[in-house]
Amino acid sequence: AQSVAQPEDQVNVAEGNPLTVKCTYSVSGNPYLFWYVQYPNRGLQFLLKYITGDNLVKGSYGFEAEFNKSQTSFHLKKPSALVSDSALYFCAVRDTSSSNTGKLIFGQGTTLQVKP
Amino acid sequence: DAGVIQSPRHEVTEMGQEVTLRCKPISGHNSLFWYRQTMMRGLELLIYFNNNVPIDDSGMPEDRFSAKMPNASFSTLKIQPSEPRDSAVYFCASSRSRVDTGELFFGEGSRLTVL
């Protein structure tokens, strides 16, 4: 079965420190992987995606993610965290069984708390 | 583009009442998704449409829930009768599934409170 796992409910980092939000996936075939961010009382916003090519993907707001096929991981990273990065982060993988309808399978989400 | 537009943003109703949530997807997008978000269950996919046709409604909780997409620019999610456990934030999202690589664009959500 296709799935996405975010093993941490919450990640706490100090402002200015690097951050990592973890994601692992299980999917048949080549994965299409995504990260979304949700600020309080807002909808989810697209951050970045991996489709093919370079394993390090750069996205919005200085975020990047590293695709690791052998570890089936797609961790979200940022070199220097900002307080304004505090939000709920979702990892997602495209459902390859849904035949081009664009359905995504989302993880449970990880709350990132950046403290001043 | 205005993005995905949902209405109402907030709805407070009493148990037993009918609730209708509305969504206007981004023009040109051919897939539309309804999600529900709660603290307990996280983000759940309820139903999705492709080219206005429902593809998978296995996430719809029960017969009290129904969704329609009469044309490419409008969809509704209806709950009748509503119950307190339906209280949640309901999101609509759209994508150009046959062109792009699956990026979803979400609306701001409709926060439903059933008393």
Condensed to tens digits (0 to 9), the pLDDT of residues B9-36 reads 999 999 999 999 999 999 999 899 999 9
Rg of the Cα trace of chain A?
14
Mean pLDDT, range A4-22, rounded to an integer: 97
Mean pLDDT, range A38-43, rounded to an integer: 93
Residue reference for tokens 């994601």: A23
Interchain contact, A44 vs B42, CB within 8 Å: no
- Predicted pLDDT at B8: 97
- From chain B, the residues in CB contact with A41 under 8 A are 109
Chain B's closest residue to A110, CA to CA, is B42
B67 and B77 Cβ atoms separated by less than 8 Å: yes
For residue A97, the distance in angstroms to the closest alpha carbon of chain B comes to 12
- Collapsing DSSP to helix, strand or coil, B70 comes out as strand
Q: Using 50, 70 and 90 to split pLDDT, how confident is the model at B100?
A: low
Q: Which residues from B are below 8 Å from A when comparing CB atoms? A: 4, 31, 33, 42-43, 45, 48, 50, 55-56, 91, 93, 95-98, 100-109
Condensed to tens digits (0 to 9), the pLDDT of residues B46-58 reads 999 999 999 889 8
How far apart are alpha carbons B22 and B111 in whole angstroms? 12
- Collapsing DSSP to helix, strand or coil, B60 comes out as coil
For residue A42, the distance in angstroms to the closest alpha carbon of chain B comes to 5
- Predicted pLDDT at A95: 79
pLDDT at A100 over 70: no
| A109 near B CB under 8 A | yes
- Predicted pLDDT at B97: 65
